[in-house]
Chain A
Amino acid sequence: MTRSLAAWLAGIAGAAALVLLPLALNRYGIYILSLWAVMTIAAIGLNLTLGYAGQISLAQGAFVGIGAYAVAILTTSGFPFVVGLAAALAVSFAVGWLLGYPALRVQHHYLAFVTLAFSTLAYLVFRNEEWLTKGIYGIVGVPRPSVLGIATAKPLPFYYLCLGALAVVSFAVWWLVRSPWGRAFVALRENPVRALSLGVDTRRYTLMAFAIGSALGGVAGAFYAPLVEFVDPTPFTLALSLNLLMMVIVGGAGFFLGPFLGALIAVLLPEWLRFMEGWYLIAYAVFVMVLLVISPTGILGILDRHLTARRTRAASQARAAAKPVLNSEAA
């Protein structure tokens, strides 16, 4: 009881901080926090695919790209943002569904290889199909939308829009992983054969896990485009996919809060380290390596191990304390 209460309080405190903190930040700080929110959405999607359903995807960055291009293309040709967002969601869901098919044939690292190939193919399409994406020149002037009549062109309102999107996505995923679907995903990860024998339609759920995770990548992209107000192919290389994978692993794959922490490290830590000038990326990379050596299951992995150990200790103490009472009752 106290543990869940503490978790709730921490959650509320975190949310309050996210709402209030930017009021004290300059435009740069607000931009970085918005970037964090957007990357967290993409990482939440990947965590669903990887952490809950156990499918390795090296293409999440490509889905962010698909979402960003969907919004950029549609909003710069006059459609409202909502249409772009819907398109980003739909296209990345559909492509994710199709890409999930190989997952049915091959498992484990081979699937990762297929997604790796897809990631690079997507980059080539972004760059080469000039009629659609404006090629290497990119799409300039992606507008920031008006929501309920409020313009989000300024940094702060746009940050709250990103934060709102993150909140909606978080609640949806929170609900999803507790639903029968979420339990089916986990069953799939833990033991696909057993899941099949228990009547889980593994085929459908595998595709579903992949498609939903990819769709969230698309949603992240849909906010990335108006955040930067510019889209070109260069950010959506394999490096972004690997970076998102790193966020999930470093935060703790399969933990609900993992992506939040992982994105915090991937987006904010390099910024904090910039005082080291030329060395900041080296320091960042070393930090990630040290963290993974200490806890290969990520930050929440350590925390979980620590808490489990404490609970076990507390439980055995409780048992020890309870013993005399039992004895006296018996006597």
Chain B
Amino acid sequence: MSNFLNLLIAGLATGAIYAVVAIGFTLLWQTSQTINFAQGEFVMLPAFFMLAAMNLGLPFMLAVLVGIGLSLLVLGLLFKRVLVDPMLRHGVLPLAIATMALSIALKESVKELYSAEAHPFPSVVPAGNVDVLGVPVSMQSLGVLVIAVLAVVALNLLLTRTSVGHQMQATAQNPTVARIVGIPVERMILYTFLINAGLVALGSLLVTPIYLAKFSTGEILGQAAFIAAIVGGFNQVRGAVAGGLLLGVVDNLAAAYVSAQYRAAVPLFLLIVIILFRPQGLLGRVEERTV
């Protein structure tokens, strides 16, 4: 039992990482039907912005701010304006393929301009373990979990309690009607891209001490987050969180009780079963519009 609890808690902590990355996925999908195959690289990159700023002599906290600023600029504004806008009207696929090319470009650029090595990254959460129900849990993992939950709560408050949030929701649900009633749809879409950029920067800050700053970490993270988003429901923020946590736990339990060699297969079976019997995902809602 203590072993099970141990795996459960460790899985939740890893799942929280996937959740933070998956939230952005679902946001972009909701407002602009963007499938961002570079989402993993979006989490990898801000850490390098921060490392580069630190190499220029900035103190850590200032470097973090620079990293977040650059993320908003590059992964939010530039990404939206340069790549997404010209392709938005042409369906899901060309844009998805373009983000795939973007993921190659980002990975290779970091490798070429910074390094192919893995770099340690300072943690905002102190190291060490705390005791949870008799299981030692690393403070870092706990920090990720707490901040992921806080991010979702904040996002939900924004979406449900503020006027901008209401307009964003309307845009997500039906852009045509939203436009008719006078909502600046374009600006709302831009906001979601900026929120995503902020979230990946936050995710980068939390995840990198565990995953290390390396050009290739985005591949694993991106794929895990993608699966998490589908399992939880591609069109709901809380679905992404549920999917992420579930994925982290299932992965651990699969490795312990099913087969270590096929541990990666169990979440995929889960994904297929969920799609076949509940295509909108665990917590998703049925989509009214088609692609």
Contacts and interface: CB of A to CB of B under 8 A. Distances in A.
Direct contact of A and B (CB under 8 A): yes
Contacts of A206: none
A78 to B, nearest CB: 29
Given A293-B86, A296-B87, A285 B101 contact: yes
A311 B91 CA distance: 26
Given A109-B92, A109-B291, A282-B108, A289 B102 contact: yes
B83 A120 contact: no
Given A121-B265, A293-B83, A246 B290 contact: no
Interface residues of B, number: 41
B161 interface: no
A250 B86 contact: no
Interface in B125-166: none
A42 B234 CA distance: 30
Nearest to B109: A282
Nearest to A239: B219
Interface string B221-255: 00100110010001000000000000000000000
Nearest to A247: B97
A288 interface: yes
Contacts of B275: 102, 106, 110, 113-114
Contacts of A181: none
Nearest to A135: B261
Interface string A218-255: 00000000000000000000100010011001100100
Contacts of B37: 242
A116 B112 CA distance: 30
A292 B94 contact: yes
A289 B265 contact: no
A128 interface: yes
Contacts of B108: 278-279, 281-282, 285
Given A110-B279, A296-B86, A288 B112 contact: no
Interface string B76-98: 00000011001100111111011
A124 B111 CA distance: 28
A256 interface: no
A288 B101 contact: yes
Interface in A86-118: 102, 105-110, 113-114, 116-118
Nearest to B90: A296
A66 interface: no
B223 A238 contact: yes
A266 to B, nearest CB: 11
B104 A121 contact: no
B105 A282 contact: yes
Interface string A258-294: 0000000000000000000011011011101100110
Interface of A: 56, 102, 105-110, 113-114, 116-118, 120-121, 124, 127-128, 238, 242, 245-246, 249-250, 253, 278-279, 281-282, 284-286, 288-289, 292-293, 296-298
Interface of B: 35, 37, 82-83, 86-87, 90-95, 97-98, 100-102, 104-105, 108-109, 111-112, 223, 226-227, 230, 234, 261-262, 264-265, 268-269, 271-272, 275-276, 279, 290-291
18 contacts: A105-B276, A106-B275, A117-B227, A124-B262, A128-B262, A242-B97, A278-B108, A281-B104, A281-B108, A282-B108, A285-B102, A286-B101, A288-B101, A289-B101, A296-B87, A296-B90, A296-B94, A297-B94
